[in-house]
Structure 1
Amino acid sequence: MNSINRISTGLQGADTVIDFLRLGDNVVWQVDSLEAYAFVANRFVCQAVNDNRRLIYIHFGDHPRLVDESALRGAGADFQIYTLNAGVGFESFTSAVYRIITFEGRQAFYVFDCLSELQKYWCSDLMTGNFFQVTCPYLFELDTVAYFALYRNAHAQDTVARIREVTQVLLNLYTIDRQYYLHPLKVWERYSPVMFLPHLLTESTAECITDSASTAELFSTLQIQTKKLDYWDILFEEAKPYLDAPLSEQAPTKDTLLNLLVGKESRITSLCREYFTLKDLIEIEAREIGTGYIGGKSIGMLLARKILETRTPHICKGYLEMHDSYYIGSDVFYTYIVQNGCWHLRMEQKKKDKYFSAAPKLQERLMAGNFPTTIKEQIMLMLEYFGQSPIIIRSSSLQEDNFGNAFAGKYESVFCPNQGTPEERYSAFMEAVRKVYASTMNREALEYRQNRGLAQKDEQMALLVQRVSGDYHGSYFFPHCAGVGNSSNLFVWDKNTDSSKGMLRLVFGMGTRAVDRVNTDYPRIITLDKPERPPLLAYGDERKFSQHYVDVINLEENKFQTISLEEAAELPLKTNIRLFLEPDHELARQFRETGQRGRKIPDIINFSRLLRHTDFAKVMEDILTILSAVYDYPVDIEFTCNFKDKERYRINLLQCRPLQTRGLGKTIKFPERLDKSHYYFASAGNFMGGNVRLPVQYIVFVKIKPYLELNESQKYAIANQIGVLNHILKNKHAILVGPGRWGTTTPSLGVPVRFTDLCNMDAICEVSYDSLGLMPELSYGSHFFQDIVESNIFYAALFQKDAKVHFNEDKILTKENVLENLLENSKEEVIYSDVIHVADLGDDGGEIYSDIVEQKLICTDKHL
């Protein structure tokens, strides 16, 4: 090799032993003390200065700088010192280092503080290894030379092995009797017969220790690496002796573990500190795979259960199903990204100009990754624990289920029927994990984060692995009923409803049909002040607007499946099926009147007996009331319910999160003596968003007849054009009015927009056209509802058959259609002005008035 490629360490003896350094070398020193690392680092710095090299010092440790800045300046060195805060977290810190390396470019020389210092901030060997596996290859790619250090015996063997795998040079430096001994462990593409023996370093040489007696004597004085625990594990082991200590002595340790599992100070953290004990935190960590935060969804579920256990022990003992969930820590998500070579793509996607464009490729890579062996082994143990019980892998990101950011439905949750051999079950589990990880790059999730100013914040994805709640019913597995509950019910249709009692959105079978706007199906909406209050339906419509299909897990076919109500009703349910279903009495009457007395009367899902003959509704009301009171905030929960016989049942609390609502607000004074000719629309009830007086400048109206004449692809084009208008009309007081359901996945039932296509609207309105089969859905409690509530969008449903509803379509259409004017600078190839009518209400505009107590809503011309 030419001498120009030989780079000195600044220690002649070391240069002799390892045959100098090369461009691209990452050099990791295992040392006993910071002083030992400072010794070799400063020799390297002095040599680099003498060789006129560009020198970079990355300082992040909680100690004085290793490099003397004044000496460097005095020597006229070309250098830069970057002081970084590792406490901001792995992603932010690593990204900052990545940007520095990119900026400094090729053939720069680096000194990093000791990597072991990162444990003080991240408490995880896993993340220390991830940082090095990300940084080392990038430095190598740019032909740099970089110094790192590790404190000997301070890291798990697996971490050292991962660092050894990617570094070019790994050296042990021992300090014995004030003398330094060099023992190379890895020197890439260099070799000599004595290179990997210990050497005594002097000022000018390195004395190789070759005889067995001297070597044995030397190494016998050293501590052998026997440490196998991650730094994380040690912290939790050291916490266990405090379990029997007084609470005051437990507090500092408890706070440390709380910060590791839950995160830094927030309203949720404060609640966790109040309700979780030290024992709780140790037990949570015992069920964690990997390290890091357990994420918002896991915290919400655990905290809600702990609140009920503390405040209402009778509910826990008598009604609550136990859980035995596992948590895959947020550090594992980063490990997955690093292990599968996705970090560079992640850095690209973080750039503002590539936020959306780089996401599909990163998503594709995330769908093809695997876990390292150590994580795989832990997952296999978990799967052995669950056996062949169905499980669900749920997203539990750091930003999820928190105050103000629910991320409802933005990330995947994947059911695993969990049948087959251990290898088959692991393969299916990994596929589910990949789907959840890849969902962080879903367009809707990216837009959600961007709209809430979260695009550049770390979004670490932990996972919640839960045993699916339910039982075997023939070849199917499902709970008897499931749903969502809200402690505040702002969507009411009867002025006598007590909205503070909350509501449920209940389905038979798996809860998926409760959290989504499901085609052709309607969950049962239950107001908890009067659970038996009938739904808001015209006489004879109960069957039409009820649940017709049931979601189940097919154990024989090892898949999630939807079956008909008729098939589900024939299954052995192990309880009284009449708690959930009863004969359709209205249809029976029709059969009698038409002389069809012999016909079989089909069932209808209405939960009437469940609500009349059990205390289920009262228990759910109590649960919501307690949780809301402790949160000091409305809450949203997901749950299942399973019966053992006619009366005994268990509720499984799957999820709890804060639910943003406007509340009642101040009473709004309505305009006096208005003629209906002034109304664009009016209704008694069927709205959501509190007491409001909203200005209206634009009404975006989708006309029913020309919409239904479109083919399916054209209907999706209408949805896309609504999305363009949503962007153009941001902050311009626009409302959206259309037929049937906004956000449906079936274009024949409404306009199939995504929520991000209407998120800038001040209000949305769903209009019924009964004769054409288009009806709004009172979707309070669904993911669509969560988005509306979080975004402070006012919602109204106009049932035109209701005598108290007035919809003046002609008044909207008499206004000039300004659609073409709004879209003139857009890239829309076709402008659907015959379907979409955008009415500009002129200089005065219009207003929406609503009053919850009076259940009154109008949208009218503006009256000052």
Structure 2
Amino acid sequence: VKIAVPKTAVIGTDIFDQFLDDNNLRYIAIQETDDEKIARIFLKSQLPDTLISDLEFFLNQIHYPLAVRSSSLLEDSQYQPFAGLYSTYMLPNNASSLKVRLKQLSDAIKLIYASTFYQSPKAYIEALSRGIEEEKMAIIIQELVGQRFGDSFYPYFSGVAQSYNYYPVSYLKPEDGITQVALGLGKTVVDGGKALRFSPRHPNILPQFSTPEEILEHSQREFYALDLSNPSVKLSKDDDVTLIKHDLSRAEQDGTLAPIGGVYSPNNHMIYDGIYHEGPRVVTFSHVLKSNIFPLSSILSELLELGYYGMGCPVQIEFAVNLASKGKKQSEFYFLQIRPMIGGREYSQVIIEDIDQKFILCRTSDALGNGLISDISDIVYVKPEKFDASRTIEIAGEIGKLNSELAKLGRKYILIGPGRWGTADSWLGIPVTWDQISNVRVIVETDLDGYAIEPSQGTHFFHNLTSFQIAYFCIRLNKKDDYIAWDWLNQQPAISETKFLRHISLPSSVEVKIDGSSRLGIILKPKYHSVG
């Protein structure tokens, strides 16, 4: 197996400062609140002539697809890292005209610079009590890992691995780490789509794949690839404009599903490894995790350990893999990015005694965080009877408006709702962005009847929650000790109510208790603070 870092070039932060100053962008970028307008203004601005000359020379030598990524001062800091707030662009770089390729690369750089001043990063940095003017942006131009399959380009699979697992199951330990992996480009994982989750130290423990029904429910159905069919594509604020989404039939046609896929047989209610039977196709990674087709688990375990010792803290890495095929004799593992994680700290002990359920607002055996919070009286929750998986984008918009109002009042709040928070797949949960929940202090993720989604630790959204030490409760209907007092919530008078949300403000604070070592979490109703 070849283990490597893709060919990489870096544009330093000094060019970012020069670009802002030469085009007088600092004031308008900080003051403007319309992301689309910021993008348009930056696209019309000029990059330094010296950089244009360097890019032209670079592109004369380089003809493979490119990933253009952000690397900022605050984004990769050890003590408050965050991820996914700035743009990343994948470029086909296959136009016959050097002028077209140069414009695409220049526009990608300008739009990443512009994304520094979008509302989500501004809200995040403001919540850190920092100023957006402190941010410095470098650019990484990297060879995109993958192979060409007709008019698409993608790796066999990509993923995110973490040194620390916030939700270990069975006999797994937090220090065993966790990985999420998916067919195609890594956007599926970092945006919260359906991906396979496993620990590199115990790759045979797959809690979300324990039965054929669960495999059918949780298996990846679509994957992302770079679209090569439009060499003259014009870039915009949306950084996925160059990508295309395929279903599994395309992967089967390309030969990329066979090594990681399986087939469900309805006749005997079984999942077969490989795709040599009739029946619905699923993505299981069985050949990779169970056999020696590719030593993914051992590579990840070693890299996570090296990263931990190198950075002195838990780390998160992004990777991509090309498997050996007819045209490629050697499999390849590419190490794309590494960033520090906030996690694995020593926990101060928090005692959570047995408490009568009538005193409890909610309780979970899967809490993230540690400590006591006793200064919150505002709760915003999605009304279970009104929840509609096809309307989650609207729900996210309503949450954003309430978040903004509470932020102006300086009031933190608890946010309760179903599905996977922050996912880019609106059918899996509510696709809130950071600016829409920047004032939240506790997030409670719940199941509803017929709507149970696995939490996603590899997402950029989840990484930011842990970095910002936002308490996170995961309530599952199939766990006997998990509980939420929906009737009590509905009985409280609402300050405001929208189509999908209720906002209640209690006469006194609730009390949130989380024991990080056991992952037990409890929220007590206001007048029962003295209990426990």
With the length of structure 1 as denominator, give the TM-score of the two structures.
Answer: 0.54
Shift in alpha-carbon separation, 1:720–1:528, aligned structure 2, 3 A: same
Q: Does residue 676 of the first structure (1) align with residue 357 of the second (2)?
A: yes
Is the contact made by 2:123 and 2:435 (CA closer than 8 Å) also made in structure 1?
yes
Shift in alpha-carbon separation, 1:769–1:425, aligned structure 2, 3 A: same
Shift in alpha-carbon separation, 1:808–1:479, aligned structure 2, 3 A: same
Correspondence for 2:237: none
Shift in alpha-carbon separation, 1:846–1:336, aligned structure 2, 3 A: closer
Q: Does residue 567 of the first structure (1) align with residue 247 of the second (2)?
A: no
Shift in alpha-carbon separation, 1:381–1:715, aligned structure 2, 3 A: same
Is the contact made by 1:718 and 1:751 (CA closer than 8 Å) also made in structure 2?
no
Correspondence for 1:765: 444
1:632 deviates by 1.4
Instruction: Measure, in 2, the Cα distance between the counterparts of 1:360 and 1:567.
Output: 34
- 1:299-331 Cα distance to aligned partner (Å, 9 max, x none): xxxxxxxxxxxxxxxxxxx65224321112222
Instruction: Measure, in 2, the Cα distance between the counterparts of 1:726 and 1:319.
Output: 52
Q: 2:20 aligns with which of 337, 346, 358?
A: 337
Instruction: Measure, in 2, the Cα distance between the counterparts of 1:397 and 1:852.
Output: 30
Correspondence for 2:511: 847
Shift in alpha-carbon separation, 1:770–1:560, aligned structure 2, 3 A: same
1:730 deviates by 4.4
Q: 1:601 aligns with which of 279, 282, 299?
A: 279
Instruction: Measure, in 2, the Cα distance between the counterparts of 1:591 and 1:580.
Output: 17
1:777 deviates by 4.2
SS of corresponding position for 2:17: helix
Instruction: Measure, in 2, the Cα distance between the counterparts of 1:840 and 1:333.
Output: 44
Shift in alpha-carbon separation, 1:451–1:856, aligned structure 2, 3 A: closer
- 1:457-502 Cα distance to aligned partner (Å, 9 max, x none): 44332211000112223442211111111111112233x2111121
Correspondence for 1:655: 337
Mark the structure with the bigger radius of gyration: 1
Instruction: Measure, in 2, the Cα distance between the counterparts of 1:498 and 1:769.
Output: 28
Is the contact made by 1:800 and 1:807 (CA closer than 8 Å) also made in structure 2?
no
Q: Does residue 506 of the first structure (1) align with residue 189 of the second (2)?
A: no
Shift in alpha-carbon separation, 1:853–1:533, aligned structure 2, 3 A: farther
SS of corresponding position for 1:551: strand
Amino acid of the residue matched to residue 677 of structure 1? K
Correspondence for 1:741: 420
Q: Does residue 807 of the first structure (1) align with residue 484 of the second (2)?
A: yes
Q: Does residue 793 of the first structure (1) align with residue 470 of the second (2)?
A: yes
How many residue pairs match? The answer is 507
- Equivalent residues in 2 for 1:764-783 (5 A)? 764-771=443-450, 774-783=451-460
Amino acid of the residue matched to residue 727 of structure 1? A
SS of corresponding position for 2:250: helix
- 1:792-832 Cα distance to aligned partner (Å, 9 max, x none): 11112222234443232112223333x24xxxxxxxxxx52
Instruction: Measure, in 1, the Cα distance between the counterparts of 2:80 and 2:250.
Output: 39
Is the contact made by 1:662 and 1:792 (CA closer than 8 Å) also made in structure 2?
no
1:561 deviates by 1.1
Correspondence for 1:472: 148
Amino acid of the residue matched to residue 336 of structure 1? F
Amino acid of the residue matched to residue 511 of structure 2? E
Q: Does residue 398 of the first structure (1) align with residue 49 of the second (2)?
A: no
Amino acid of the residue matched to residue 291 of structure 2? H
Instruction: Measure, in 2, the Cα distance between the counterparts of 1:532 and 1:801.
Output: 22
The answer to which structure, 1 or 2, has the higher relative contact order (CA under 8 A, 6+ apart) is 2
Shift in alpha-carbon separation, 1:419–1:548, aligned structure 2, 3 A: same
Shift in alpha-carbon separation, 1:611–1:714, aligned structure 2, 3 A: closer
Instruction: Measure, in 1, the Cα distance between the counterparts of 2:472 and 2:462.
Output: 9
SS of corresponding position for 2:440: coil
Is the contact made by 2:393 and 2:431 (CA closer than 8 Å) also made in structure 1?
no
Instruction: Measure, in 2, the Cα distance between the counterparts of 1:704 and 1:327.
Output: 48
Shift in alpha-carbon separation, 1:796–1:467, aligned structure 2, 3 A: same
Amino acid of the residue matched to residue 12 of structure 2? G
Instruction: Measure, in 2, the Cα distance between the counterparts of 1:710 and 1:323.
Output: 39
Q: Does residue 427 of the first structure (1) align with residue 107 of the second (2)?
A: no
Instruction: Measure, in 2, the Cα distance between the counterparts of 1:533 and 1:425.
Output: 46
Shift in alpha-carbon separation, 1:437–1:736, aligned structure 2, 3 A: same
Is the contact made by 1:729 and 1:760 (CA closer than 8 Å) also made in structure 2?
no
Q: Does residue 325 of the first structure (1) align with residue 3 of the second (2)?
A: no
Instruction: Measure, in 1, the Cα distance between the counterparts of 2:433 and 2:399.
Output: 8
- 1:736-772 Cα distance to aligned partner (Å, 9 max, x none): 111223334566654443223323322101111242x
SS of corresponding position for 1:320: strand
- 1:226-272 Cα distance to aligned partner (Å, 9 max, x none): xxxxxxxxxxxxxxxxxxxxxxxxxxxxxxxxxxxxxxxxxxxxxxx
Is the contact made by 1:489 and 1:503 (CA closer than 8 Å) also made in structure 2?
yes
1:424 deviates by 2.3
- 1:261-304 Cα distance to aligned partner (Å, 9 max, x none): xxxxxxxxxxxxxxxxxxxxxxxxxxxxxxxxxxxxxxxxxxxx
Shift in alpha-carbon separation, 1:530–1:814, aligned structure 2, 3 A: same
| Cα RMSD for the two superposed structures | 3.0
Instruction: Measure, in 1, the Cα distance between the counterparts of 2:281 and 2:35.
Output: 47
- 1:139-162 Cα distance to aligned partner (Å, 9 max, x none): xxxxxxxxxxxxxxxxxxxxxxxx
Amino acid of the residue matched to residue 545 of structure 1? H
Shift in alpha-carbon separation, 1:730–1:373, aligned structure 2, 3 A: closer
Q: Does residue 415 of the first structure (1) align with residue 90 of the second (2)?
A: yes
Correspondence for 1:286: none
Correspondence for 1:836: 501
Q: Does residue 368 of the first structure (1) align with residue 51 of the second (2)?
A: no
Is the contact made by 2:33 and 2:118 (CA closer than 8 Å) also made in structure 1?
no
Correspondence for 2:239: none
Structure (1/2) with the larger strand percentage: 2
Correspondence for 2:348: 666
1:411 deviates by 1.2
1:649 deviates by 3.0
Instruction: Measure, in 2, the Cα distance between the counterparts of 1:668 and 1:583.
Output: 46
Shift in alpha-carbon separation, 1:729–1:675, aligned structure 2, 3 A: farther
Unaligned segments of structure 2, at least 5 residues: 232-241
SS of corresponding position for 1:326: strand
Shift in alpha-carbon separation, 1:739–1:728, aligned structure 2, 3 A: farther
Is the contact made by 1:708 and 1:748 (CA closer than 8 Å) also made in structure 2?
no
Is the contact made by 1:506 and 1:514 (CA closer than 8 Å) also made in structure 2?
yes
Instruction: Measure, in 2, the Cα distance between the counterparts of 1:641 and 1:634.
Output: 23
Correspondence for 1:641: 321
Instruction: Measure, in 1, the Cα distance between the counterparts of 2:379 and 2:405.
Output: 11
Instruction: Measure, in 1, the Cα distance between the counterparts of 2:38 and 2:471.
Output: 36
1:447 deviates by 1.8
Correspondence for 2:300: 620
1:712 deviates by 7.3
Is the contact made by 2:393 and 2:430 (CA closer than 8 Å) also made in structure 1?
no
Is the contact made by 1:744 and 1:753 (CA closer than 8 Å) also made in structure 2?
yes
- 1:635-665 Cα distance to aligned partner (Å, 9 max, x none): 1111112222599533211111111126350
Correspondence for 2:236: none
Amino acid of the residue matched to residue 617 of structure 1? S
Instruction: Measure, in 1, the Cα distance between the counterparts of 2:36 and 2:243.
Output: 26
Is the contact made by 1:482 and 1:511 (CA closer than 8 Å) also made in structure 2?
yes
Q: Percent identity?
A: 22
1:588 deviates by 5.1
Shift in alpha-carbon separation, 1:669–1:371, aligned structure 2, 3 A: closer
SS of corresponding position for 1:570: helix
Unaligned segments of structure 1, at least 5 residues: 1-317, 593-597, 821-830
The range that moved more, 797-806 or 639-648, is 639-648
- 1:3-57 Cα distance to aligned partner (Å, 9 max, x none): xxxxxxxxxxxxxxxxxxxxxxxxxxxxxxxxxxxxxxxxxxxxxxxxxxxxxxx
Is the contact made by 1:762 and 1:794 (CA closer than 8 Å) also made in structure 2?
yes
1:667 deviates by 3.3
Is the contact made by 1:356 and 1:443 (CA closer than 8 Å) also made in structure 2?
no
1:783 deviates by 0.9
- 1:352-400 Cα distance to aligned partner (Å, 9 max, x none): xxx345976554321113334433222122112222x101111122333
Q: 1:535 aligns with which of 207, 219, 223?
A: 207
Structure (1/2) with the larger helix percentage: 1
